[in-house]
Amino acid sequence: MTDPTPVVVPPPRPGLRVALVKPDFGVSGGFERVVDRVERALRADGHEVTRRTVDLPALPRRAFGVDVSEAAWAQAPEFFRYAAAVDAFSGEDLSRFDAVVSTQPPSFAAPHPHHLSLFFHHHRVFYDLEDLYVEAGFASDPDLHREAARRVRELDAPHLDDVAWYAAGSETVRRRLGRFNGMDRVSLFHAGLGVGRSPGDPAVRPGPEAPATPADAPARTGAVLCVGRLEFPKRTELLVAALHRLPGVAGVIVGTGGRHDWIRAVDRHLGAPGVDLDAVDERRLWCSTGLLDPDDPLGVASPTTGARSNITLAGAVDDATLSHLYATAPCVVAPAHDEDYGLTAIEAMAHGAPVIVCTDGGGLADLVTHEVDGLVVEPTGAAIATAVERVLTDRDLAAGLAEGGRRRADATTWRRADAQLRVALALALEHEAVHA
Amino acid sequence: MPADDHRSPDPARDEAARLVGEVADRAEAAAERTDRPPLGRAARAAIDDARGHLDAASRSAGAGTEIPSEARLRQLKQAALVGMRPVTSYQVPFNRDVLAALDRVVTVVEDLASRAEGFDDGLDNQVHRLQAALATLDLQVGDLDADAHDVAGTVDSLVEAVEAIRREQATHGRALAELRSRVDATLRATREAAAAAAAGPGRTTTASADRAAEDAGRPSVTGRPVDPALVRRLADGGRPLELAEWAEVLLPVVEAAAALGPVLDLESGRGEWLGAWVAAGLDATGADDDPEHRAELTDRGLDVVPAAPLAALVQAAAAAPPADRGSADATGHGGNRLGAVTAAVLADVIELDELVAVVDAAREALAPGGALVLASASPRGRRRGDVQWVDPRRRPVDARLLTALALDRGFAEADVIDLGGDTGRSGGGKPRAHALVARVAGGA
């Protein structure tokens, strides 16, 4: 790969004082690695970077001068927590900095005339996931949730207007910014790999990435792999449904989350003797709260006997183990709905594993070209099972997809992401926010 | 879930709904406070100033028609004013009309200023879109460049792979040709051994000797094979001394073809043609399966391979990559393929099926535009006592047969060149001959 040197937008001069603004959710995941990498890239370009974080769990139950009672807070916790965070970020004094780079929402509310937002998503339950959130039953009061969603969008609007430039995490996110906010000051920022392809995890190290596949790569005799948080709407349930159609095929699901017990119960439910997989309402499996309810009409929580399973819930694994699973998986399935980006797919491609995603996978579907560097199928267990079977039985197809995937992954480097970041920062410096 | 009018009262829910609204309203108000006025600072100040003046003026619109209540001598002034009413009564409506007109002007100016701001914003938006597109394009150019490098790398790899396959194929082809030669030799030796065993000790035979007897109209009535050494001696006797002269006639043709690749001279014999080609500076190699002939040629410093005509041609074709067939490279050179295949004594001393095989093999071995040159005794010289007919293998081959055969087997052009010789009916004189010059398609 050659260095994608910008030819139109000159990079910003070195020596800028940059505030990297981020909410602290009290967890450390893939996005935190991305932010770490961004900080290193900014420093490598000669800028002085200061982290400014807002500890969200520590915020009081108070927003814009309004004290919210515990009982009222419990009725719409997502709204009040979010409003309190917007209040906190919008009150930040960042005037001493030359530029601000914000990260997760609502850090875009931090005021600064030269504000670059690394925008990976809105607060999705109030935007693109509003309907699914209600359909799944997460909103105890759907009317209140919809009203809160309307209010959040109003609340966000002026702050989003104030951002000088956006670097969207994917085409999907760029489309959402246009759809919800009419935003056109948007370029792209495709993060590189989260899981290193060589010892030492180059994902957080500057410099060229390691080759995708070492010469002594193990054979792809492992289990069909799925990596991601066990949360709504990752739709891990669809992979479970697919693998029960392929009882001779082993599957491993890596990740933790609030739906762990639910997914295990779904696995038992679908593995019970006599279950007609064609008659299962798969949408109800994944579009639900994931809480085990004995009165659940699907009967997922009901006791079963004689259930068979070909699926291992591996929980959290370290990078070395995950790399090994990627490197030995005959294919990686990413069934999530409307993902912001799809880092899992890129990581799988980098490890030479054919990727299977769904047509409504958002950023995942953006990354994969059907039958070129992966398979894009309908979001059903049957369709995913057929795709897995194709990859397992058609060696030429699998080899072709693996090769295509490697090429795609090779193009998604941190070096390229650094160039995208430079361009976006230069544009943010060139623009002065409307409300400055 | 639709709203349920009969839902039991839920104070916490109601409070939450109220607080959601209150928080949002306050947030909106806070955002508005930081809002910039819709107009530029200078424009806003001017508009505000104009409105201030209008407000002040409106308060004095009735000036000249009223006396303030606290004024001194108010009664007297009032009386004087009344006296002037015919004049001042027009002033107040005039003042108010002017103020109203100015107010409208200010409103229009403000609207125009706002529109101008809006136009700027619209322009900004266009610029934003353009910049976003450029930023994306910028990186896409880099991506395309990288893709192009990847494709170029892949093409290079493919070219290398194809070259490796060609080399491997050539190796296999050579091995196959050698194998065929060995098989041919073995079969020939077996046939001869079998014939010798049938004829008794001290005698050998060959198919050509039998054929020579048949051609001479004298079937092997003895049932015993003819001694091949005798056949060879007779063939040598029938080898015309004029072969070198014929080479001079044919040299321009062979020289032109040699520009496309090396020359292979089949059944080189005493090397009359091979020597002529080499003397002319051409890259020429001979082929002969007679060890005595090869030894003689080698002693003269000529390059000769031990192979019968067909084996030599198969070997040459196998050594050249398949892609070269029918296409010259950029220099017009036919790669490893032959520029010319020549044979002074071949076309009319072998069986027709072998001749067909030789013509086919030559076509495969020749570079595009390459030439096959086969000399043949003119049948008309047979009755005249032409020395060539001493060769017992010789068969009358009409010139038209040669051209028809070459065109039938895929050559693009076929001509016959008269090599001269005496035409009289009396015996002796120079032998009469002609040569087929056939070219494969392509070339310059």
In a domain, B1, yes or no: no
Interchain contact, B138 vs A423, CB within 8 Å? yes
In a domain, B206, yes or no: no
Interchain contact, A1 vs B150, CB within 8 Å? yes
Nearest to B146 among A1, A134, A184 (CB): A1
Lowest-pLDDT choice from A94-98, A339-343, A397-401, B168-172 = B168-172
Parallel, antiparallel, or unpaired: how do β-strands A66-67 and A62-63 relate?
antiparallel
By C-alpha distance, the chain A residue nearest B153 is A1
Residues A246 and A395 reside in one and the same domain: yes
pLDDT, mean of residues A228-249 = 95
Residues A323 and A366 reside in one and the same domain: yes
Q: Which residue has the higher pLDDT, A234 or B210?
A: A234
Output the tens digit of pLDDT for each of chain B's 444 residues: 344 444 556 888 889 999 999 999 998 888 776 654 455 666 777 777 887 887 777 777 776 667 777 778 878 877 877 777 766 667 777 777 788 788 778 777 877 777 676 676 667 666 766 777 777 676 677 777 777 887 888 888 888 888 888 888 887 877 787 677 667 666 765 665 666 566 544 333 344 444 544 444 444 556 666 777 788 788 887 888 889 889 999 999 999 999 999 999 999 999 999 999 999 999 999 999 889 899 999 999 999 999 999 999 988 888 765 544 444 443 344 567 899 999 999 999 998 888 999 999 999 899 999 999 999 998 887 777 778 888 888 888 888 899 999 999 999 999 999 988 766 555 557 788 999 999 998 865
Look-up of token digits 């079998």: B194
Residues A153 and A80 reside in one and the same domain: yes
How close does chain B come to A184, measured CA to CA in Å? 6
For residue B79, the enclosing domain spans: 39-155
Residues A169 and A42 reside in one and the same domain: yes
Cα separation of B182 and B186, whole Å? 6
Q: Which residue has the higher pLDDT, A79 or B108?
A: A79
Interchain contact, B30 vs A90, CB within 8 Å? yes
Note the pLDDT of residue B223: 63
Note the pLDDT of residue B181: 64
Which residues lie closer than 8 Å to B101 by C-beta, 6 or more apart? Answer: none
Interchain contact, A411 vs B146, CB within 8 Å? yes
Task: Tell me how far the alpha carbon of residue A360 is from its chain's centroid.
Answer: 14
Note the pLDDT of residue B138: 65
What phi and psi, each to the nearest 5 degrees, are found at residue A375? -120, 135
Cα separation of A433 and A99, whole Å? 11
Does B23 contact A at CB distance below 8 Å?
yes
How close does chain A come to B46, measured CA to CA in Å? 21
In a domain, B230, yes or no: no
Chain B residue numbers with beta carbons less than 8 Å from the beta carbon of A188 are 135-136, 139
Interchain contact, B138 vs A69, CB within 8 Å? no
In a domain, B360, yes or no: yes
Residues A130 and A150 reside in one and the same domain: yes
Nearest to A66 among B3, B13, B26 (CB): B26
Q: What is the ipTM of this complex?
A: 0.82
Chain B residue numbers with beta carbons less than 8 Å from the beta carbon of A1 are 146, 149-150
What phi and psi, each to the nearest 5 degrees, are found at residue A185? -90, 65
- pLDDT band, residue A2 (cuts 50/70/90): very low
DSSP letter for each residue of B63-120: BTTB--TT-TTHHHHHHHHHHHHHHHTTHHHHHHHHHHHHHHHHHHHHHHHHHHHHHH
Residues A149 and A229 reside in one and the same domain: no
Residues A171 and A159 reside in one and the same domain: yes
- Dihedral sign computed on CA atoms, order A381, A382, A385, A386: negative
Note the pLDDT of residue B149: 81
Interchain contact, B19 vs A71, CB within 8 Å? no
Nearest to B26 among A65, A80, A188 (CB): A65
SS3 A315: strand
Q: Percentage helix, strand, coil, to 5, in chain B?
A: 60, 10, 30
- Domains identified in chain A, total number: 2
How close does chain B come to A144, measured CA to CA in Å? 6
pLDDT for A51-60, tens place per residue? 999 999 999 9
Average pLDDT of chain A to the nearest whole number: 88
Interchain contact, A72 vs B16, CB within 8 Å? yes
pLDDT for A262-303, tens place per residue? 999 999 999 999 999 999 999 999 999 999 887 777 788 887
Chain A residue numbers with beta carbons less than 8 Å from the beta carbon of B17 are 75, 144, 147
SS3 A279: helix
**Angle formed at CA A364 by CA A358 and CA A365, multiple of 5 degrees:** 55
Note the pLDDT of residue A282: 95
Does B404 contact A at CB distance below 8 Å?
no
Tell me which of B136, B155, B174 is where a domain ends.
Answer: B155
Cα separation of A324 and A372, whole Å? 24
Nearest to B132 among A155, A186, A436 (CB): A186
Residues A426 and A366 reside in one and the same domain: no
DSSP letter for each residue of A200-230: T-GGGSSSPPPPSS-TTPPPS-S-EEEES-S
Domain CATH for A46: 3.40.50.2000
For residue A118, the enclosing domain spans: 17-192+415-430
pLDDT, mean of residues A127-146 = 94
Note the pLDDT of residue B39: 56
Note the pLDDT of residue A9: 67
By C-alpha distance, the chain B residue nearest A178 is B129
Note the pLDDT of residue A246: 96
Tell me which of B95, B124, B155 is where a domain ends.
Answer: B155
Answer whether residue A153 shows pLDDT above 70: yes
Chain A residue numbers with beta carbons less than 8 Å from the beta carbon of B147 are 411
How close does chain A come to B321, measured CA to CA in Å? 28
Closest by Cα among A328, A379, A330, A338 to A355: A330
Interchain contact, B19 vs A155, CB within 8 Å? no
Cα separation of A235 and A282, whole Å? 10
In a domain, B79, yes or no: yes
Residues B286 and B418 reside in one and the same domain: yes
Q: What does the buried/exposed string (b/e) look like for B96-128 if buried means 16 or more CB atoms within 10 Å of the residue's CB?
A: eeebeebbeebeeebeebeeeeeeeeeeeeeeb
Interchain contact, A185 vs B128, CB within 8 Å? yes
Note the pLDDT of residue B34: 60
In a domain, B251, yes or no: yes
What phi and psi, each to the nearest 5 degrees, are found at residue A161? -65, -35
Residues A388 and A422 reside in one and the same domain: no
Cα separation of B243 and B268, whole Å? 11
CB A38 within 8 A of CB A189: no
Residues B276 and B418 reside in one and the same domain: yes
pLDDT for A7-66, tens place per residue? 456 788 999 999 999 999 877 777 888 899 999 999 999 999 999 999 999 999 999 999
pLDDT for A175-203, tens place per residue? 999 999 999 889 999 887 755 443 333 33
Closest by Cα among B258, B370, B365, B382 to B321: B365
Which residues lie closer than 8 Å to B333 by C-beta, 6 or more apart? Answer: B259, B260, B261, B367
Residues A62 and A45 reside in one and the same domain: yes
CB B416 within 8 A of CB B348: no
In a domain, A219, yes or no: yes
Chain B residue numbers with beta carbons less than 8 Å from the beta carbon of A154 are 24, 28
SS3 B340: strand
Residues B258 and B117 reside in one and the same domain: no
Does B12 contact A at CB distance below 8 Å?
yes
